[in-house]
Structure 1
Amino acid sequence: MFIRLLSALILTSSLGWFGPTPTLKPAPAPPNVVFILADDFGYELIGANGGLSYKTPNLDKMAREGVRFDNCFSMPLCTPSRLQLMTGKHNFRNYERFGYLNTSQKTFANLFKDAGYTTAIAGKWQLAGGPDTVRHFGFDQFCLWQIDKSDFWDRYKDPILAENQLGQKRMGAYGPDEEVKFLTNFIEQNQQRKFFVYYPMTLTHDPFQPTPDIPEFKSFKINGTNDTTYFKNMVQYADRLVGQMINKLDSLKLLENTVIIFAGDNGTSVNITSQTRQGPVKGNKGYTTSAGNHVPLLVYWKGHTPSGVTRSELVDFTDVLPTMLDVAGLKKPDNFMVDGQSFWPAAMGKAGKKRDWVYSDYNPKRNDFPARKYAQTQKYKLYSDGQFFDYQNDPLENKPLSLVSLSENTRKVYDQLSKVMAHYQQQSDQIKK
């Protein structure tokens, strides 16, 4: 009897009270990262954001099964945005001219590569230099438009693409298809390794031209066709390519170990007006209203990020690099300064440090767009010239608020943003000395 009781106690101890002790899953290894950046792609284009003009089923599904950020702000133009997200720094620290990044800078790809990731980029480069420069910034492999030649018309049909070398004309090809094919092949070849993929799409920047899924693609004139009629097809083709990337990861059973982030680089072209549930939105790329810098941001990591969650936290593009470090479990190098802060806790459904404001030192250093410095909350925006807007209720910023008539709470916001502006002006002035 005693022996049977002792045996039962030993069995119960080894199995737990209600059966075998559950095996704890080990902490996941640092995941792969795929960052997709659409060109001239404002917040209003995605169905999940209230867009009505375009069918975006893959992005909508990504939002439905992942996390959607409602208040992400880029710079209003492509090169300034790219410098911010790649380096984690405000433009006054490293933006010297349009289409250029000084090789003294380090990018998120450098940090991933230093941590043992294999890296690739495909799509739009626009940062000057040749193949050696791309590799210098941390990319092992690349398939890029505008690396050594920058003709406006050569990004879509019959593109000039540089694949790990100088560019070559690809007759009969469609640039975005070639870029995605390159990246999906890279993923398949490196599926047993940690990888970082950066896909700065050429879509949906003009020239507005037919895509391969419509009959006009076969016969249109490449040099000269720039018709906004085709913008709808371009948005929907960009969505299709996002789906192809996700489907490839799924087919290789990599979705549970790959973080996918999608964003737009700045607002939609001024030539495009889109319908939304809130009314029509005319794109304002290059300018500092919300239609110029409010962009979509989606994060999906199967089995890890919460599903169908919308976060209201402010995010700006200096936050991308520190978020990447968090995703990979990396520490910021001691000698590497960043202006941004990670939004990874929010993407994982956790509480974290929230931004009270976003700051922008926008100087495109081109003649077609004005330079403006500003700081904003989710509702208010203060410019360096003193203009103060309730941009939530005045999105076109037509009616500056009277500073003598501000309520007590609004005055506090104004004072807070004034301090932000003064702080960064002081830092900018020190760099110029």
Structure 2
Amino acid sequence: MSKLTALCTLALTVSVSSFGHAKPNIIFVLVDDLGYADVGFNGSTYYETPNIDRLAGEGLVLENSYMYPTCSPSRTAIATGKQSFRTGVYTVPVLERGSDQENIFSRWTVGEEHTMYSQPLADSGYKSIHLGKWHLVGPYPKEEMEGTWPRSEKLDQPDPWDYSWAAYHKSEACAKYYPRGRGYLKNIGGTYRGDPALEIDGYKGETGGYFAPFNNPFMDQKNPKDKWLTDHLTTEAIDFMDEHKDEPFFVNLHYYTVHRPIRGRSPELVEKYVNKSGDPVTGQGMQAKPKDKLKSAEYASMIESLDDNIGRIADYLERNNLRENTLILFSSDNGQNVGANKTLRGKKGWIYEGGIRVPTFMNWPGKIKPRRSKTPISGLDYFPTFMEVAGIKYNGVLDGDSIVGLFTGEPRNLQERPLFWHLASRFHHGTCSVIRKNNFKLIQFLKDGSLELYNLEKDPAETHNLAAEHPEVAQKLLRELTGWRKQNSIPLPPESPLDY
């Protein structure tokens, strides 16, 4: 037993799942940059997602499901169950703007001291596979982990076509930062990069990484099973499930789609959406310029391809009598980047709802009551939820809560609890801390302490700052927010005049 596995084992005990004698299978589908309204079950009439909508309609749709505004902190929080201040991952490092006085520059690599949900699952008997985007390690993890923190400069990355990092990343010394060192039996396509464009010219390359050859060191280049990346990852997932269908499996299917670079799935699909009427409510497909309309149609074709592949997974489970014992979780790592949604403010990179509110459903026939829930949840909740579903008593530090109670009801403790964010590095806007509680959302900007308050029930588009009109609400939430920072000794950027 490795030192890491031994430490992980100390933090848990295994019990029989409360959902039955056989441990349930778990499929966690995380889409990249899929916006709240990019699916039919949240109102899109332009994008076509019938397979996703069917599973959502038969399951639990979480209308107020939240992530961080960018992928690195979201994925780190999901994997570890920990807030950004514990891991030091505040945003994608290469996106940071400003000096070391304005930022606590973000880490990239998640250290061994932070257990990921895949480890206790593996120790309790789950056969697990990671497919697609990993992004939980930086390009130079050795230098990063041995460096002095906080840093005076942000981290950097090589050009997409520079493979000088690959040999070390595939070595035994680096395995601890990759899926194989975190309890997964296989890693299909997970690297340090946040997109698939590992080719000459990167985003401007012909394939953008979505068509073979994929140029990914962690993927079979000689004989990929499919020529389209989303299809390929799904085929690998189905093959793994088929290999382990007689034992509990965990599938971490983290698609690269619909992250840029945008590529049309096929000329026929792109033409279909070019000729389709747009949605004036969300703004999807409403672009006037032919170039912009084409890009919107290509994006729509990627979403339809995603939907086709979710349908393939559901069909496989049904054919093999696995649906009744399989939990499917479907979500996104942040708000839309390329897509449009005029009903929410902001998009990827913004702390407003368009940047952090994501499409989410959970489906488990006979175990989850089909409906829509308004109870706010966070990506931090997935780790403890997986533990409860799998019958694992995990004793490590977790900042979220199991949401198993939502499978059949509306627990008051989940309805009334606050959700917190802490962004100590800059991207689209200044550093800030946020609390969301009882339909109100308070943002405190750390540079000067200024406040924004929104009633999300009455004003989901966050058009009207209520901080001056309702100072009693703002101050009550502020006391809770600052109390959370003080209790956890959460660091502030050097320029911040705040005490905590």
TM-score (normalised: structure 2)? 0.70
Aligned residue for 1:40? 33
Distance in 2 (CA, whole Å) between partners of 1:155 and 1:169 is 15
Instruction: Report the CA distance between 1:50 and its aligned residue.
Output: 1.7
Aligned residue for 1:175? 229
Aligned residue for 2:486? 426
Distance in 2 (CA, whole Å) between partners of 1:299 and 1:327 is 12
* Unmatched 5+ stretches in structure 1: 1-25, 218-225
Is 2:215 the counterpart of 1:160? yes
Instruction: Report the CA distance between 1:246 and its aligned residue.
Output: 1.4
1:21-420 equivalences under 5 Å are 27-96=20-89, 97=106, 99-128=108-137, 130-131=169-170, 132=175, 133-147=178-192, 151=198, 152-153=202-203, 154-158=208-212, 159-163=214-218, 173-212=227-266, 214=268, 227-269=295-337, 271-274=338-341, 280=343, 284-307=347-370, 309-333=371-395, 336-349=396-409, 351=411, 353-356=413-416, 357-363=418-424, 365=425, 367=427, 370-377=430-437, 379-384=439-444, 385-392=449-456, 393-403=458-468, 405-406=469-470, 411=472, 413-420=473-480
Distance in 2 (CA, whole Å) between partners of 1:98 and 1:118 is 30
Change beyond 3 A, Cα 1:367–1:72: closer
Instruction: Report the CA distance between 1:77 and its aligned residue.
Output: 0.5
Could you say what secondary structure the match of 1:155 adopts? coil
Count, aligned residues = 385
Distance in 2 (CA, whole Å) between partners of 1:281 and 1:59 is 22
Instruction: Report the CA distance between 1:430 and its aligned residue.
Output: 6.0
Highest relative contact order (Cα 8 Å, sep 6+), 1 or 2?
Answer: 2
Decide whether the 8 Å contact of 1:31 with 1:258 is kept in 2.
yes
Change beyond 3 A, Cα 1:310–1:28: farther
* Unmatched 5+ stretches in structure 2: 1-18, 90-105, 142-168, 272-293, 493-499
Change beyond 3 A, Cα 1:272–1:391: farther
Instruction: Report the CA distance between 1:118 and its aligned residue.
Output: 0.9
Distance in 1 (CA, whole Å) between partners of 2:426 and 2:179 is 24
Q: Whose strand proportion is higher, 1 or 2?
A: 1
Instruction: Report the CA distance between 1:175 and its aligned residue.
Output: 1.2
Could you say what secondary structure the match of 1:354 adopts? helix
Could you say what secondary structure the match of 2:391 adopts? coil
Change beyond 3 A, Cα 1:119–1:369: farther
Could you say what secondary structure the match of 2:358 adopts? strand
Distance in 1 (CA, whole Å) between partners of 2:481 and 2:467 is 19
Could you say what secondary structure the match of 1:44 adopts? coil
Instruction: Report the CA distance between 1:366 and its aligned residue.
Output: 6.1
Distance in 1 (CA, whole Å) between partners of 2:404 and 2:435 is 23
CA RMSD of aligned residues (A): 2.9
TM-score (normalised: structure 1)? 0.81
Distance in 2 (CA, whole Å) between partners of 1:119 and 1:186 is 9
Distance in 1 (CA, whole Å) between partners of 2:190 and 2:23 is 30
Decide whether the 8 Å contact of 1:142 with 1:162 is kept in 2.
no
Instruction: Report the CA distance between 1:209 and its aligned residue.
Output: 0.8
Instruction: Report the CA distance between 1:327 and its aligned residue.
Output: 0.9
What is the letter of the counterpart of residue 316 of structure 2?
K
Distance in 2 (CA, whole Å) between partners of 1:318 and 1:66 is 20
Decide whether the 8 Å contact of 1:36 with 1:201 is kept in 2.
yes
Could you say what secondary structure the match of 1:235 adopts? helix
Q: Deviations 1:24-64 (Å, cap 9, x if unpaired)?
A: xx934220110000110121112111222211111111121
Could you say what secondary structure the match of 1:288 adopts? coil
Decide whether the 8 Å contact of 2:85 with 2:422 is kept in 1.
yes
